[in-house]
Structure 1
Amino acid sequence: MVLPLLKLGTLALKTLSKPVAARLKKQAAYAPRFREFIVAIAQANHRITTRMQRRIYSHATDAAIRPLDEEKAVQAAVDLMGELFVFTVAGAVLIFEVQRSSRSEAKKEEARRKDLEAMKQRNEELATQVELLRHKLEELEQLAKRQGLSGIFKLKPANMEGEKLAKAA
């Protein structure tokens, strides 16, 4: 269930990033300093990616790299910023989900620990009760050995009364 929601969220973020990219494009047209900044970012990105591609394909890396024209640079920078926005938000969502899951697991672990502690406490109480019952049983066994079984159950007086009744009759 989490995976479809994650995919849906990513799709929504990509969809939302398009208006952000369009807004960046408009800002680049109105603010010359911002335009210079994003063109510099796009040119740097172009140089880095071109060098990486040349290394991957074993081409000469010392050849001059032609800069992008200004409109392509603005478009590339806006696309790059839009993708960075999407990845940043997706990363934040991922971090939030991991932290939420971690807190949930911590709560579950705490509940398990409390249950285990309660079971240990109950086990100790039962062990104490068993020990008390064992001592009482030992006392009863000692009394039984000393007095005999009839002494514990007070059968002698009852039998004596029965004998008195039999003698009187």
Structure 2
Amino acid sequence: MSSLKIGTLLIRTIAKPIAARIKDYSKTHPRFRNACISMAQAMHRFELNLKMKFLGYKKETIRPLNDARAIEAGTNFLSEAFLFSVAAGVILFEATR
């Protein structure tokens, strides 16, 4: 039982540098960079549309993020999604075991 918990802790610890590599990779690879930018722009538009709808503002044009902020937001989302999926996988594995 304790060896399984140590194993899951090891998997989580290994996942963090992989998430950091995702961030580094997005800054150097052009296709991955463009995917991060488009994903961040879509999230930005969705978030602002939701805010305007809930706060009762009329719909306005949404200015896109600049490339640096879009890359940062996209890579943060991907790295956090990776860490979340690893943690969720470990929890599901322990629950089914």
Shift in Å, 1:16: 4.6
Question: Greater relative contact order (Cα 8 A, min sep 6): structure 1 or 2?
Answer: 2
Question: What are structure 2's unaligned runs of at least 5 residues?
Answer: none
- Residue 14 of structure 1 and its aligned partner are, at CA, apart by 8.3
Moved more, 19-28 or 46-55: 19-28
Q: Kindly tell me: are residues 14 and 29 of structure 1, through their superposed partners in 2, closer, same or farther at Cα, counting changes over 3 Å?
A: same
RMSD (Å), alpha carbons: 2.3
Taking a change above 3 Å as real, the CA distance of residues 27 and 95 of structure 1, as seen in their structure-2 partners, is same
Larger Rg: 1
Match among 86, 89, 96 for residue 86 of structure 2: 89
* Structure 2 counterparts to residues 39-78 of structure 1, below 5 A: 39-60=37-58, 62-78=59-75
Structure 1 residue 21: Cα displacement: 3.8
Aligned partners of 2:19 and 2:79 also within 8 Å:
yes
Q: TM-score, normalised by structure 2?
A: 0.76
Q: How high is the TM-score relative to the length of structure 1?
A: 0.46
In the alignment of these two chains, the number of paired residues is 89
Counterpart in the other structure of 1:150: none
Which of these residues, 30, 33, 40, is aligned with residue 32 of structure 1?
30
Distance 1:40 1:90, change over 3 A: same
Counterpart Cα distance in 2 of 1:54 and 1:13? 37
Deviation per CA, 1:77-119: give whole Å up to 9, x if none: 111011111221121122112211xxxxxxxxxxxxxxxxxxx
Unaligned segments of structure 1, at least 5 residues: 101-169
Give the Å deviation of 1:29: 2.3
